[in-house]
């Protein structure tokens, strides 16, 4: 069982949403490099590793949560496959871009806020300007159901949107790729 922290700073992805997410990603996970942004307890990236991803990089700025990710990876014997970057997403993505790191799957669970100024919307714009997503990669952004992310963001096109109560996951690929069904 994955440990998490109590309080309002962490909003773990529910087991139902996590299972649905990975059912949609299915065969893409095996052998992939995964970037887990706003990682919290690390549940999404650790799930990817348990399903055959070869590596996961976690970005989490809250120090207690970054420690929990390491503890969870150790408890699951996954420590050799992880890197935890303590700090904000913008700085981490800039660093990864400079290092030439690319990921087949980017999972993002930013804080929920509705409207055009949502963290998910800002993240989309920021990530669309960098090359951390591999050419045939996929970005899955978890967001509040009342937040309407754009159909297109830079070079990306939303391929699918799945709703689970007040949680949505929007899946983006480069516009030329359209491997997901709506």
Is the predicted pLDDT of residue 3 greater than 90, yes or no? no
What band does 181 get if pLDDT is binned at 50, 70 and 90? Answer: very low
- pLDDT tens-place string over residues 70-98: 999 999 999 999 999 999 999 999 999 99
pLDDT of residue 159: 94
Domains, the chain: 15-174 (3.40.50.150)
Q: How far is residue 68 CA from its own chain's centroid?
A: 17
Structure tokens at 145: 């159901």
Q: How far apart are CA 71 and CA 78, in angstroms?
A: 10
Q: How far apart are CA 84 and CA 63, in angstroms?
A: 11
Please choose, from the candidates 107, 81, 86, 73, the residue with its C-alpha nearest in 3D space to the C-alpha of residue 2: 73
Most confident of 84-88, 110-114, 171-175: 84-88
Mean pLDDT score of the chain: 88
- Predicted structure pTM score: 0.90
Structure tokens at 73: 């990876």
CB neighbour list of residue 131: distance below 8 Å, 6 or more residues apart? 97, 102
pLDDT of residue 182: 40
- pLDDT tens-place string over residues 44-68: 999 999 999 999 999 999 999 999 9
- Contact yes or no for 41/72 (Cβ under 8 A): yes
Please choose, from the candidates 2, 3, 9, 1, the residue with its C-alpha nearest in 3D space to the C-alpha of residue 111: 9
Q: How far apart are CA 154 and CA 96, in angstroms?
A: 19
Report the pLDDT averaged over residues 18-23.
Answer: 95
């Amino acid at each position: 069982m994955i440990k998490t922290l109590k309080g309002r700073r962490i909003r773990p992805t529910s087991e139902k949403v996590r299972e649905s997410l990975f059912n949609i990603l299915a065969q893409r996970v095996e052998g992939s490099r995964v970037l887990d942004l706003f990682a919290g307890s690390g549940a999404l990236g650790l799930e990817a590793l348990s399903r055959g991803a070869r590596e996961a990089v976690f970005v989490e700025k809250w120090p207690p949560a970054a420690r929990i990710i390491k503890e969870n990876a150790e408890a699951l014997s996954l420590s050799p496959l992880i890197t935890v970057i303590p700090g904000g997403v913008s700085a981490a993505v800039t660093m990864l871009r400079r290092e030439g790191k690319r990921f087949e799957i980017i999972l993002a669970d930013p804080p929920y806020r509705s409207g055009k100024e949502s963290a998910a919307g800002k993240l989309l714009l920021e990530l669309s300007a960098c090359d951390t997503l591999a050419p045939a990669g996929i970005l899955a952004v978890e967001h509040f159901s009342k937040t309407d992310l754009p159909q297109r963001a830079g070079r990306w096109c939303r391929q699918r949107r799945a709703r689970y109560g007040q949680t949505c996951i929007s899946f983006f690929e480069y516009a030329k790729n359209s491997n997901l069904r709506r």
